[in-house]
Amino acid sequence: MHGFVHVEIPARDLRRAKDFYGKVFGWQFQDAGKDYTLFSPPGGGVGGGINRVKQVPKRPVVQAYIEVADIDAKLKEVKKARGKVVKPKKEVPGFGSWAAFSDPQGTVLFLWQSLPGQRAM
């Protein structure tokens, strides 16, 4: 009962954020006013919102991880969509791998790939 149920991502430009996350992760969006949009991942899982801010924080306050099937392929998509790799793929022995990226506006998020047969931590 204490897992994440909602994640918020700061962005200066909602349209650009929706374009980036829609292309890279296939998220669907529902606008909730001019300064906020809700997102939901395909196939379920934890969704959240993107809120308009004047300045994106330089460092992540909370590290949010997005589960993916293939980190290497997803990092290529991030770069193609004008995001940046902040930390390349790093293995966590016995569990999986992680990497960090920033979207085109500078928000840093993390990717997680579980080992076959493992569940996300």
**Residue 115: pLDDT band with limits 50, 70, 90:** very high
Q: Which amino acid is at 107?
A: T
Q: Which helix (H) or strand (E) holds 119?
A: none
Residue 44 structure tokens: 């379920």
Round the CA-based radius of gyration of the chain to a whole number and report it. 14
pLDDT band at residue 68, thresholds of 50, 70 and 90?
Answer: very high
Element (H, E) at 16: helix 14-25
For residues 91 and 98, what is the distance between their CA atoms, to the nearest angstrom? 7
Give the mean pLDDT of 94-118: 92
Residue 85 lies in a domain: yes
pLDDT of residue 34: 93
The domain of 62 spans: 4-114
Number of structural domains (the chain) is 1
The pLDDT confidence band at residue 120, using thresholds 50, 70 and 90, is: low
Give pLDDT tens digits for 10-52: 999 999 999 999 999 999 999 998 999 999 999 888 899 999 9
Please report, for the domain that includes residue 47, its CATH number: 3.10.180.10
**DSSP helix/strand/coil, 78:** helix
